[in-house]
Amino acid sequence: MPFDLTIDRHYLQYQEFLMECFAHQGKHAVGLCKVCARGVCRDCAIKAEHSLACSQEHAAFAEKLTEVQFASLGNAQLYRAQRYVQPLASLALIALGLGYLYAYDDDLFGWLFLGFGLLMGLTHFFPRRKKKS
């Protein structure tokens, strides 16, 4: 079966839009440096942790940047979990406070649990407003 030339025609049609390596003009880039976003070819690309870099200095910085990004993703997942845990914890504290107040008349711990549960619930449903700059 002969080679399908339509692939080559499409490649040639969009060849002007392909990014080139910043150091080797005419060579196609295989990726972008994570730090400076310059195109790098296979010869220039330095593999950093989960990314590419154009130099050793940028490789070290790219690895630190990746650590910060993964930490940020972890914080986002923690915030997502907090949306469900905080209301449940506030309901548990309110129930515990009511249980103490029912079992022991005017017990200080009952009022503390009830107040803390209400405060936690209010801070969840009415968060602080950010100041406008």
Per-residue pLDDT, 129: 64
Find where tokens 């150091």 sit. 23
Per-residue pLDDT, 113: 92
Find where tokens 């914080």 sit. 75
Residue 9 scores a pLDDT above 60: no
Both structure tokens of 85? 């845990």
- The torsion defined by the Cα of 65, 66, 72 and 74, in degrees rounded to 10, comes to -160
Residue 36, CA atoms < 13 Å, CB-side half-sphere = 14
Residue range 41-77, pLDDT digits in tens: 888 888 888 888 988 999 999 998 888 888 887 777 7
Residue range 81-120, pLDDT digits in tens: 778 888 899 999 999 999 989 998 878 888 999 999 999 8
Per-residue pLDDT, 133: 56
Question: In terms of DSSP H, where are the helices of the chain?
Answer: 5-13, 56-103, 108-125
* 39 or 128: which leads in pLDDT: 39
φ, ψ (nearest 5 deg) of residue 87: -65, -35
Both structure tokens of 30? 């295989």
**Maximum CA extent, the chain:** 91
